[in-house]
Amino acid sequence: MEKEQRPEVVEAFHRNLPGVKSALYTPETGSLLLHHDVHWNADSSRTARLLSSVSELSPYKKELQTAGAAFLMDFFLPASRFTGMLKVLSPSALTTLYACRNTLKNGVRPLQEKTRPNADTLSMAAIIASIIKGNPKSAVMILIMSTLSEIITDMTSQRTKTYVRDMMSVDTPYVWKVIHNGREEKVPIQTINPGDTLAVFEGEKISADGQVCQGTATIDQSAITGEYMPQEVFKGQEVYAGTIVQSGSLQMEVTRVGEDTTAAGIIHMIEHAQDSKAPIQNYADDMSERLVPVSFLLALLTYALTRSWDRVLNMLVIDYVCGIKLATATAVSASIGRAASQGAIMKGGQHLQSLASVDTAILDKTGTITEGRPEIVQILPFNGFTENDILRYAASAEEHSSHPIAESILTKMKKNGLTAYDHDHSSIENIVGHGVRAIVNKKEVLVGSQELLIKSNVDMSSLPFLKKSLKKKNTVYAAVDQSIAGVIVIEDAVRSGMKRTINHLRRSGIDEIVMITGDKKETAEEVFKELHLDHYYPEVLPHEKAAFVHHYKNQGRNVMMVGDGINDAPALAAADIGVSMGGKRTDIAVEASDLVITSDDPLILADMVDLSKSTMRMIRRNFAVTIALNSAAILFGLFGWITPTVGAAIHNSATIGVVLNSTRLLVNKERKPCRQPLPSSTTYLVDSA
């Protein structure tokens, strides 16, 4: 009975009930908490977001409260009732000065440190002039509206960070650790170290990076890879913290925990990206600083010509600075958040701007344009051997090889329900660049290139009539006891959605799309023709890829390089914008890249180009609106057609408007990824043979 009351036993039992996602049993109270309703989780998430939004307002709470108090004070006891210097000492004026204390401090600081005024200096002058004139309402209006603009900007930035953290949050205080006798023990996540084995059940979130060592499960990896379709994982495959087991259960060996996990790395990259300014942000900041003295000059000229303090005040309360700076920062921050929601990590605002100006794209073939997973599409048997014989001999010889082609042969054998022949493991000899030699079923087996078989004096007399039809294909030859047994035709299929991606990139303004590959000319030419690319360069060595990037850059082109492997890293670093793409990307490629696409869906690349261009268009539009509205307000103020309070309202309303316009970029316009594969090269190869 005591055994049945153990928390892990009770929880394990209830987790297996239909519809139950997780269970938490408290033996002290005898209570059991079951999680089974997805709507509850959704409501909970909405509540968390609401609380998060409220907490974002807290730094501005005092400013808004004191501004409201100053406004009410001036309403009930207006400063206009007082005369002379008493206006400055009136209750509403003093309350307004207290409410605006941070703005006044920020306005004085640049004069002390840089001897150069900024936007806060301009606001400080406007606030002081308003109070001297006996019109604290104008100062309060400046404070309230500018505070609202900053709140929207900060909320957008925080929303991006919160979204990413929520999306990738592990949020699992306890995990099931598998101890030495196979029992599961519930322990705090903080006690887990690399090398430990964890059990993860249906409905639970994986709490660390690791490798599946037992079991099969369907996992939602959208938080890490951007892939909306659940993926099936089994022994030997990698799993990541922050992903959710939708069905099945598994045991995993932990490889990374806490801040070392993939999810934590992505979060840090995105947060760092938000702090990295785009050139257009620096331009906006610089232009804003240059415009501040212009506003002061306009105020002096206005006073000299009109002697009207109202018109002078209009020159101080209306400026271009806030709208240009805040809207630009908000647009960049919102775009980085939007990219993250689609499975792309933009490493900084400067890369967002670079991507918008790209006119040439260089794409690596293997693993980028193609799946990067060679597949057997045809087996041609000879001399009495069958397709199954060839598969079994080839797989036996290649059993211990990690080469992708060897993996494709072994996968095909298992898929056909076959097993390897008996073979002498010590006899296996790898011949670098050519193939493998082994003793299988007491026979000498060669698997590899045609050159390997010729050098080994294999009788190739039955092959001449095939040479023409096989010339354009990737082929592996198999020989048994000096006799040709068969030819295995292998193809690396073009990614599903790649043709649509190429067309989309062209519509986005990228007018030259080039493919580089280490493959032979005939293989590269097939892909080149299928995708209607502009140029292709076959048989390119790894160290030569960067030279092609420099070649196009020297022609004045803005180059985007897309790759996924170690050999792509120099080219990725050399390009104006380097993009690593796909689940098979290497750490070195990610490090060298400016944009990391975590999904295998190539259409996300086109989406990111569109997003960057949309962001730059929005920033330019915000510039135009800010300049137009504030210029009109300055003109009206100069002629005395509006009061300073109305002028402040127009200026700050324009700022809030362009900032809100920038936040629209955070809204993810859903695009259903292409899941229907393009006409595959498998059918083409079989027909052409």
Least confident of 54-63, 244-253, 547-556, 557-566: 54-63
Beta bridge partners of 24: 33
Pinpoint the residues of the chain covered by CATH 3.40.50.1000: 358-370+495-575
Give the three-class secondary structure for 679: coil
CB 513 within 8 A of CB 491: no
Residue 274 pLDDT exceeds 60: no
Q: What backbone torsions phi and psi does residue 411 show, to the nearest 5 degrees? A: -65, -45
How would CATH label the architecture of 375-491?
3-Layer(aba) Sandwich (3.40)
CATH class of 358-370+495-575: alpha beta
Residue 264 pLDDT exceeds 60: yes
Of 446 and 181, more confident:
446
pLDDT recorded at residue 514: 96
CA distances from 320 to 311, 437, 648, 661 (A): 17, 75, 12, 16
Q: What is the DSSP letter of 477?
A: E
Task: Please write the tens of the pLDDT for every residue from 323-347.
Answer: 888 888 888 888 888 888 787 888 8
Query: Which range among 326-330, 471-475, 610-614 has the greatest average pLDDT?
Result: 610-614
pLDDT band at 16 (very low <50, low <70, confident <90, very high): low
pTM of the complete model = 0.65
Average pLDDT for residues 524-536, to the nearest whole number?
92
Residue 192 pLDDT exceeds 60: yes
How would CATH label the architecture of 173-260?
Distorted Sandwich (2.70)
Pinpoint the residues of the chain covered by CATH 2.70.150.10: 173-260
Give the three-class secondary structure for 183: coil
Pinpoint the residues of the chain covered by CATH 3.40.1110.10: 375-491
Share of the chain above pLDDT 90, in %: 15
pLDDT recorded at residue 557: 94
Residue 79 pLDDT exceeds 80: no
pLDDT recorded at residue 685: 26
Task: Please write the tens of the pLDDT for every residue from 357-411.
Answer: 999 999 998 888 988 777 888 898 988 899 999 999 998 888 877 677 788 888 8
Residue 111 pLDDT exceeds 80: no
pLDDT recorded at residue 689: 27
Which residues does the annotation mark as catalytic? 364
pLDDT recorded at residue 372: 73
CB 74 within 8 A of CB 52: no
The label of the residue with tokens 């690396």 reads 492
Least confident of 45-59, 66-80, 148-162: 45-59
